[in-house]
Chains A and B, each alone.
Chain A
Amino acid sequence: MTTPAPVQTNKAGLSKNDYRGLPSTLCQGCGHNSIANQIITACYDLNIVPEEIMKFSGIGCSSKSPAYFLNRSFGFNGLHGRMSSLATGALFADTTLRAIGISGDGDTASIGMGGFKHMVRRNAPIVYIVENNGVYGLTKGQFSATAEVGLNLKHQGTNQYMPVDICMEALASNATFVARSFAGDAKQVKELLKAALSHHGVAVLDIISPCVTFNNQEDATHSYTWGKDHEAPLHEISFIPALDEIELQGEFAEGTVREVSMHDGSTVLLKKLEKDYDPTSRANAFQMLESTQLNNWLVTGLLYINESKPTLTETFNLVDTPLNRLADPDLRPARETIEKINAMMF
């Protein structure tokens, strides 16, 4: 008789299964599915307790995916383009929780653009993922605002307008963490997710996530083939949680590695590839986006990071107890005060 192999667990004592969601109802091969899987892995690797995460989304195929990971986390799949506001309010409920938001390119770059930019500007502490496929998947293949000029889509004709670059928009709104990746590059997605989850503030992740059903022609910017051929990673990225710091030291050769320390003591290691890119400079990030766009490259990696800005909820000097656990005596002013208030009226 063989004994069943022991279930592998992480430092939180949880198995991979504890991080899963419901079976996906998205198309097979949809980029969104692989992102959901990397979220599961990243949370497992970081030993995050699912109950300490909140999930948010708008409306779209992408926005459905929070149902497909972290079943034990609270979640809210709200309105099209309105994840930003819904999550902003919810973040105040219990500031000890982390938040992951999943949006689409339509959800963020069209109907939700205003809210997105304001959420970014406020440095709301959330991992804001845009699953960017250049189309509206759920409404069956219309152009999104990130579609490239000249893209031909069935029933839609040819797109005439310049695409919105989500990373550029995020940077312009003073995002404190901006990264781009490609759903087909599982390792990079995972490492960026881990860095984003440890970031102090808003972490915008623009992940090119091909829609195999409505936008996967070989030459379309958001397709697998194009993505694979044109992806130009800025650097190889590894995220190292605070606890593991010492173990991994030797892996990267001196001089080719750049360390970025995160607020919680963990580190992102960027292995130099093409050039010595400095992700702490906003000007560099703009320049990188501009030049790669001119060369028709899909630049991926951590474009910008700034760990020093206070988050939205930090600016409020809230009590330590989560607000949603406060009760009567903390919430209702004492009886004596009413007389003073009335005396303040004329």
Chain B
Amino acid sequence: MSEKVINDFSVTIATVNGSGSQTANVTLLRALFKMGIPVSGKNLFPSNIQGLPTWYTIRVSKDGFVARRDEQEVVVTLNPVSFARDLASVRPGGAFFYADDIRLPIARSDISVYPMPVKQMARAANVSPALRDYIANMVYVGILAQMLGIDLETIKQALSFHFKGKAQAIDSNFTTIKTAADWATQNLKKSDPYSVAQMDSTSGFVMADGNTAAALGAIYGGLQFAAWYPITPASTLAESLNVFLPQLRKTTDGKQTYAVLQAEDELAAVGMAIGAGWGGLRSMTSTSGPGISLMAEYAGLAYYAEVPVVIWDVQRIGPSTGLPTRTAQGDLTEAYFLSHGDKQNIILLPGSVQECFEFGWKALDLAEHLQAPVFVLSDLDLGMNQWMTKPFEYPDTPLERGKVLWEADLEKLNGVWGRYKDSDGDGIPFRTVPGNKHPSAAWFGRGTGHDENARYTEDANTWENNMARLKKKYDTARTLVPKPVIKAAKGATVGIIAYGSTEPAVEEALALLKQAGGPKTAFLRLRALPCTAEAQDFIKKYERIYIVEANRDGQLRQILSAVLPDQAHKFRSACHSDGLPLTAKWVKEAILAQEEK
């Protein structure tokens, strides 16, 4: 056996979709996390309910790198269909665990091979035949725990969390795990170098997914109305609203301060959210690319009639239906320009689960402050996978409700005001909302040409002045959106810009570049569009700027080239999109290859 490798490898588990392996996989992930080891888990699943191959990949990293890796040191397979491919994917020197009822050739002598009596143990387990497949997954949990050194106590904690403390479920699963672990002790001889050991690097973190975080953030942001239509990978965001709103936002007498509605399609979903936004409610919708496409016309209405609304796009790979269960950052240009006519939209780009929470409430603040649609672009990787994350932080600023005039305000103004008048010079007008009983409160909203008092007009100058004000308002947004996170490097001539879920890959790539003697590199993680002054300064500061993104076309590069044409010659794309989260190795190599040119 070669030298021991502790807390620094990847495990991939191949199963059949719909077989209940998710519980087993997340249990392993959580147990490792409880052992204090930095860890990440990514579900690479098919768009199917039952029967197709599915993989779950866990990375343990003593150094805290949690990006996906292509290399797999430990591979577990329960699936005859993917068996050959799984076997081939094990790194030389790695370990291969397989269900021993799969009788297929194993022609590799450079790895350790461990058969697992999965079927036999599942049959022996004291569960109903219906649960046998499910319990079979616990067999590999037990065997892996024994062979890698995962503490069974942490596994029990993970099970207890998963089954919400229900003793019977915890016990029956744990019994199988323990039996399997004992079997491994007696029957398997470890010949691979990979194992885990207790650390103390996860205290102060929790595990959560971005969609849950986004929903909670919105709830703490005073969300009052949400309309949505089911779509992977966004559905769990709205479903989390349904879970947490009743717990957090009912009055003592059980009444609701919110409404969530499943609409007939995304067009209606965004329409309802815009109607509610116009009515003065903190309002949002959540969807993925296909839904965003349907929302295009309405997004323009919200932009032009100046209605606050938050639109979450949990991106999956497109165009078209694409790969519904695979991740990408391919909707950036669409969201930025969504709808016809002149406009740019405000976009927030959360880069972590914690930030999904934070932008959950900030987006509602910005939408009401700016009276505009605010898009939040997450993705499948961030939204649906469990990540280590800093605990959610209570908002540090009160709800921002924007310039809303109520009866008393209008009284003070003697009823004199203009719905689309730029009275403060920031491009943001005042508004009133229905129910305001002051006789001069009402105005007539419209997507057609209007003057400062919301009256219909086709006057050329009025049109142009209003559009100029909207542009000014976008400049105000530039000063209000979250600023980028910048990691400076002394003497750097090269800058990297990335956003969203690629952050861990880029962070690790920085370390790899250093190891490889690559250029000194500064890193800016963009958190919003419009591009703030800080981001523009960063771009101006460096000779070359690599823009890392999980899409084919380098969409941020396209946008930044248009925003800063005199800087565009510096931009180099490191973009790649195959449905999987980017790896650090790929980022490093993409940058080095262009540096050599």
Q: Within 8 Å of chain B (Cβ to Cβ): is A74?
A: yes
What residue of chain B has the Cβ atom nearest to residue A84's Cβ?
Answer: B268
Docked CA distance A6–B161 (Å): 76
Q: Is A12 an interface residue (CB 8 A)?
A: no
Within 8 A of B (CB), among A310-326: 313, 316-320, 322-326
CB of A331 closer than 8 Å to a CB of B: yes
Tell me if A332 counts as interface (CB < 8 A to partner B): yes
A94–B435 contact, CB under 8 A? Answer: yes
Q: Closest CB of chain A to B153's CB: distance in Å?
A: 15
A93–B435 touching, CB < 8 Å: yes
* Whole-angstrom CA separation of A50 from B442 in the bound complex: 10
CB closest residue in chain B, given A122: B261
Q: Is the CB of A78 within 8 A of B391?
A: no
Segment with Cβ contacts to A, from B73-81, B213-221, B499-507, B519-527: B213-221
Inter-chain contact A76/B444, CB cutoff 8 Å: yes
Least CB distance from A80 to B in Å reads 8
Query: Which of A97, A317, A342 interacts with B434 by CB under 8 Å?
Result: A97
**Distance from A325 Cβ to chain B, minimum over Cβ atoms (Å):** 7
Chain A residue numbers with a CB within 8 Å of B265 are 114
Minimum CB–CB distance from B424 to chain A (whole Å) comes to: 22
B433 and A320 contact, CB distance less than 8 A: no
CA distance A109 to B259 in the complex (A): 28
Q: Give B435 Cβ to nearest chain A Cβ, in Å.
A: 4
Cβ A338 vs Cβ B392 within 8 A: yes
Query: Is residue A142 contacting chain B, with contact meaning CB distance below 8 A?
Result: no
A346 & B442 in contact (Cβ 8 Å cutoff): no
Task: Count A-B contacts at CB 8 Å.
Answer: 214
Q: Contact size class for B? A: 35 or more
Expressed in whole angstroms, the Cα–Cα distance for A90 and B275 within the complex equals 4
Q: Is the CB of B220 within 8 A of A333?
A: yes
Q: A35-88: which residues lie under 8 A (CB-CB) from chain B? A: 49-52, 54-55, 66-67, 71-79, 82, 84-88
Q: Is the CB of A94 within 8 A of B263?
A: no
**A330 to B446 CA separation, bound complex (whole angstroms):** 31
Whether the Cβ atoms of A77 and B297 lie closer than 8 Å is: no
Q: Are A316 and B259 in touch, CB under 8 angstroms?
A: yes
Complex: how many Å from CA A93 to CA B386? Answer: 35
In the complex, A277 has a CB within 8 A of chain B: no
Contact across chains for B272 and A89 when beta carbons are under 8 A apart: yes
| Nearest-Cβ distance from residue A344 to partner chain B, whole angstroms | 9
| Whole-angstrom distance between the Cβ of A30 and the nearest chain B Cβ | 17
Question: Does B280 interact with chain A (Cβ within 8 Å)?
Answer: yes
Encoded as 1 (CB less than 8 Å from any A CB) or 0, chain B from 212 to 237 comes to 10001001111111010000000000
Residues from chain A with Cβ under 8 Å of B221 in the complex: 332
A residues 83-118 near B (Cβ < 8 Å) are 84-94, 96-97, 114-115, 118
Q: Select from chain A the residue with minimum beta-carbon distance to B398.
A: A328
Given contacts A51-B436, A323-B224, A346-B206, contact A77 B271 (CB under 8 A): no
CB–CB B271/A346 < 8 A = no
Query: Does B222 contact A85, Cβ atoms closer than 8 Å?
Result: no
Q: Is B412 an interface residue (CB 8 A)?
A: no
Residues of A near B220 (CB, < 8 A) are: 332-333, 338
CA distance A51 to B298 in the complex (A): 26
In the complex, whether A246 has a CB less than 8 A from a CB of chain B is no
Known A92-B259, A322-B435, A333-B220; contact A85-B208, beta-carbon cutoff 8 A: no
- Closest Cβ of chain A to B498, distance in Å, is 26
B448: Cβ under 8 A from any A Cβ: yes
Nearest 8 Cβ contacts at the A-B interface: A93-B279, A85-B271, A89-B275, A331-B222, A324-B280, A89-B272, A94-B435, A89-B276
A-B contact pairs, 23 of them (CB 8 A): A67-B456, A74-B444, A76-B278, A77-B447, A79-B297, A84-B268, A85-B271, A88-B268, A88-B275, A89-B271, A89-B276, A89-B279, A93-B279, A94-B279, A97-B435, A118-B268, A316-B256, A318-B255, A319-B257, A327-B399, A338-B220, A342-B391, A345-B391
Residues of B bordering A, CB below 8 Å: 30, 33, 158, 161, 206-208, 212, 216, 219-225, 227, 244, 248-249, 251, 254-259, 261, 263-265, 267-283, 297-298, 301, 305, 386, 391-395, 398-399, 401, 432-439, 441-448, 456
Which residues of A approach B to under 8 Å, CB–CB? 49-52, 54-55, 66-67, 71-79, 82, 84-94, 96-97, 114-115, 118, 313, 316-320, 322-328, 330-333, 335, 337-338, 341-342, 345-346
